[in-house]
Amino acid sequence: MSEQDYGFDTLAIHAGAQPDPATGARATPIYQTTAYVFDDADHAADLFALRSFGNIYTRIMNPTQAVLESKVAALEGGTAAVATASGHAAQLLVFHALLNPGDEFIATRQLYGGSINQFNHSFKSFGWKVAWADADDVSSIAAAVTDKTKAIFIESIANPGGRVNDIEAISEVAKKAGIPLIVDNTLATPWLCKPFDHGANIITHSLTKFIAGHGNSMGGIIVDGGNFDWGKDGKYPMLSEPNSSYNDIKLYETFGNIAFAITCRVLGLRDLGPAISPTNAFNILTGMETLSLRMERHCENTQKVAEWLEANDKVEYVNYAGLKSSPYYDLAQKYTPRGPGAVFTFGLKGGYEAGVKVVSGVNLLSHLANVGDTRSLIIHPASTTHSQLTPEQQSKAGAGPELVRLSIGIENVDDIIADLDQAIG
């Protein structure tokens, strides 16, 4: 029986996680080691030359991490995955594999504020240029394509705006331009949305959020869709051209449909170094076993909280794609039929001050900068995550002064609503 025949929950528990070959341990052990002995000199040479699959050094691979990678690859329907220290590290490795100095990529403005910072500021010092486009206007994405454009980056469900993107329409633009579509699937998780089914070529995640799910471990991952031809036009030299740090092997020619993941590992992790810790990989694996159960409850609670807020007369608007009033309702029905996640925003009639009052007044919800925890979380982006952006960028990113972001947890929903009720006043 092959993996395609198993259901999501079976894969979430079993994929990649066979009993340990050395001890028979049923749960995946934490391989807390930095290095691995070689059998002999020939074995060592084969590993270093990439002729064999095996363990060398934990900056590049680790058996606990490998279980996590196989599992996420299976759940997303990809060919292989590479786990990293954080979601941002995953994004860094993806662009490091694709871009040379002077190259460009297109990203939609409606992104997690941290990604906007990473692309605008840190990436500039690598000579990588981001061109911003509007996720709601696919023609603006097409118009931003130049002969230097190497990729398009979007979020499936955008943080923090409660919007769902038209992945298929955007993937058509990418196909026409002959470049890969990268989808950050953090807020959806593969339980709610499967971007590879809609034309994505690479998926990234911050595992820190719903996939780990318990607010206790940092991690990120890159999933290779195995569905892009890296060799066709020499646009991606790290994949298609001889690599002098590996005796001139060509990674795409050698590794075919896992070449992108291999490149991120043997060049990205090896040289940039953002390895996930084995203990964090273990914590994330434990969280993942209940992914669908948690996501079901997250979505059920979120729908109720959003409906309650929409009926509250101190609330000006609610941006949740599960509400019929949302302009993204139809896209959500198509791309996230089980629910458009648990992160959304609402605006208070009282503006900036009212936002500050709510985050100060909550007792059950936690005021912090994170999403995707079992606990319900609240933040006022204008004074925190989006404070580095100009007011125009804040509004374009969907984070104006009156706006509050929620990440609804899996507590009893009546308690979440009661806490918001007393804090809004």
Ligand X SMILES: Cc1ncc(COP(=O)(O)O)c(C=O)c1O
Report the interface residues with other proteins, using CB under 8 A.
2-4, 6, 10-11, 14-21, 24, 39, 43, 46, 49-55, 61, 63, 65-67, 69-70, 73-74, 78-83, 242, 246-249, 253-256, 258, 261-262, 265
Q: Is 323 in the site for ligand X (CB under 6 A)?
A: no
> Which 31-90 residues touch ligand X, going by CB under 6 A?
86-88
Least Å from the CB of residue 409 to ligand X: 16
The string of DSSP codes covering 41-87 is: HHHHHHHHTTSS----BTTT--HHHHHHHHHHHHHHT-SEEEEESSH
List the structure tokens of 34.
């930095």
Report the partner that residue 186 touches, choosing among other proteins, ligand X, none (CB closer than 5 to 8 A by kind): ligand X
Q: Which is nearer to ligand X, 243 or 277 (CB)?
A: 277
403-407 and 343-348 beta bridge pairing = antiparallel
Amino acid 284 reads: I
Is residue 206 a contact residue for ligand X (CB under 6 A)? yes
Q: Indicate whether 210 belongs to the interface with ligand X (CB under 6 A).
A: no
Residue nearest to ligand X (CB): 87
* DSSP assignment of 330-342: HHHHHH-TT-S-S
28 binds ligand X (CB under 6 A): no
In the complex with other proteins, the residue whose CB is nearer, 3 or 134, is: 3
State the minimum distance, in angstroms, from the CB of residue 63 to other proteins: 7
SS3 label, residue 412? coil
Q: 91 near 114, Cβ under 8 Å?
A: no
Which listed residue (371, 379, 404, 413) binds ligand X by CB under 6 A?
A: 371
Look at residues 425, 384, 375 and name the one whose alpha carbon lies nearest to residue 404: 384
Q: Residue 215 is encoded by which pair of tokens?
A: 């607010």
Say which DSSP state 269 is in: I
Could you tell me the smallest distance in angstroms from the CB atom of residue 35 to other proteins? 15
Q: Which of 31, 105, 112, 128 binds ligand X (CB under 6 A)?
A: 112
The answer to the question of residue 285 lying near ligand X (CB under 6 A) is no
* Two tokens, residue 63: 């058996």
CA distances from 213 to 74, 92, 217 (A): 18, 23, 9
From start to end of 6-117, where are the E strands? 80-84, 104-108
Helix residue ranges, H only, 104-240 = 113-120, 138-143, 167-177, 189-192, 237-240
Helix (H, G, I), strand (E, B) or coil at 131: strand
Sole window of 110-118, 231-239, 243-251, 326-334 interacting with ligand X (rule: CB under 6 A): 110-118
Contact 91, 118 (CB under 8 A): yes
Q: Pick from other proteins, ligand X, none: which does 261 bind, CB < 5 to 8 A by kind?
A: other proteins
User: What's the CA gap between 300 and 212, in Å, rounded?
Assistant: 19
218 makes contact with ligand X (CB under 6 A) = yes
Question: Judged by CB under 6 A, which stretch of 8-16, 203-211, 294-302, 350-358 contacts ligand X?
Answer: 203-211
What stretches of 314-386 show up as alpha helix (H) in DSSP?
329-335, 351-361
186 binding ligand X? (CB under 6 A):
yes
Q: Which is nearer to ligand X, 88 or 265 (CB)?
A: 88
102 binds, among other proteins, ligand X, none (CB under 5 to 8 A by kind): none
Q: How many CB atoms lie within 10 A of CB 124?
A: 11
**243 forms part of the interface with ligand X (CB under 6 A):** no
Q: Please identify, using beta-carbon distances, which residue of 112 and 123 lies nearer to ligand X.
A: 112
Q: Is 344 in the site for ligand X (CB under 6 A)?
A: no
Would you mind telling me the total number of residues written for the chain in this entry?
Answer: 425
In the complex, the residues that contact ligand X under the rule CB under 6 A are: 86-88, 112, 114-115, 155, 159, 184, 186-187, 206, 208-209, 218, 220, 371
